[in-house]
Amino acid sequence: MFPLITHTLQVIMTNLKDVRRVSDVSLIGNHAVRIKIGTTLFDIRGSYPMFVVHEIEGGCMRGSDAAREIEKQLNGEPIIEVEDFDAHDPEVGDALCDHVDSMRVQDVQNYSESCGGPDLDPIDRQRTWLKAHFLHKANNLPELLEEVLSIEGKERKNQLRKVLIK
């Protein structure tokens, strides 16, 4: 009983972006945890990376966008807290531009298609747009790294993370 509950609580504390908004935590039997965020209750069952989250409404479990978002966060990687990261540092801009310059053509095109970029323009214009996109996203580093992970893969995400977080 306790290892599963302890595991669930540990994942909630490390993966949930709004963990500071959790106002109540209850144990439900041997396998579930109920948390309260604001006025909404959520049941969390399972273990990493297969958590299932339901919103509790009037004593019934239901799927909701908020429950799916929490489930996505719990089943993803832990959140990175970057205290001393300065998105406006020229070195960060250079690192992001170097990253875009080293990308495969197919990855640049995938970014342009999925992020609303100029996907029909020549590749050099797509790269220029992508550099501006990355510089804009640098203020939210976890989101930027998540985007890199989804399009380029874990290895490229880790390379970029190592360059940005020293």
- Cis link prior to 90 (omega < 30° from 0)? no
In this predicted structure, what is the pLDDT of residue 42? 94
Cα separations in angstroms, 146 against 36, 106, 131, 155: 26, 18, 16, 12
Asked if residue 1 lies in contact with residue 30, where contact means CB atoms within 8 angstroms, the answer is yes
- Domain residue limits, the chain: 2-75, 90-164
Per-residue pLDDT tens listing for the chain (166 residues): 577 788 888 888 888 888 888 999 998 887 889 999 999 999 999 887 788 999 998 888 888 888 888 988 898 865 555 544 566 678 888 889 999 999 999 999 988 888 888 878 889 989 988 988 888 888 778 888 888 888 899 999 999 988 887 6
Give the Cα separation of 103 and 16 in Å (integer). 31
Give the Cα separation of 149 and 145 in Å (integer). 6
In this predicted structure, what is the pLDDT of residue 20? 86
Tens digit of each residue's pLDDT (9 = 90 or more) over 112-143 = 888 888 878 889 989 988 988 888 888 778 88
Q: What is the pTM of this model?
A: 0.50
Hey, how many other C-beta atoms are within 10 angstroms of the C-beta on 46?
18
Give the Cα separation of 136 and 88 in Å (integer). 10
Cα separations in angstroms, 143 against 77, 80, 119, 124, 146: 12, 10, 22, 24, 5
In this predicted structure, what is the pLDDT of residue 41? 94
Give the Cα separation of 72 and 49 in Å (integer). 9
Give the Cα separation of 40 and 87 in Å (integer). 34
Sorted by sequence, the CB contacts under 8 Å of residue 73 that are 6+ apart come out as 15, 16, 17
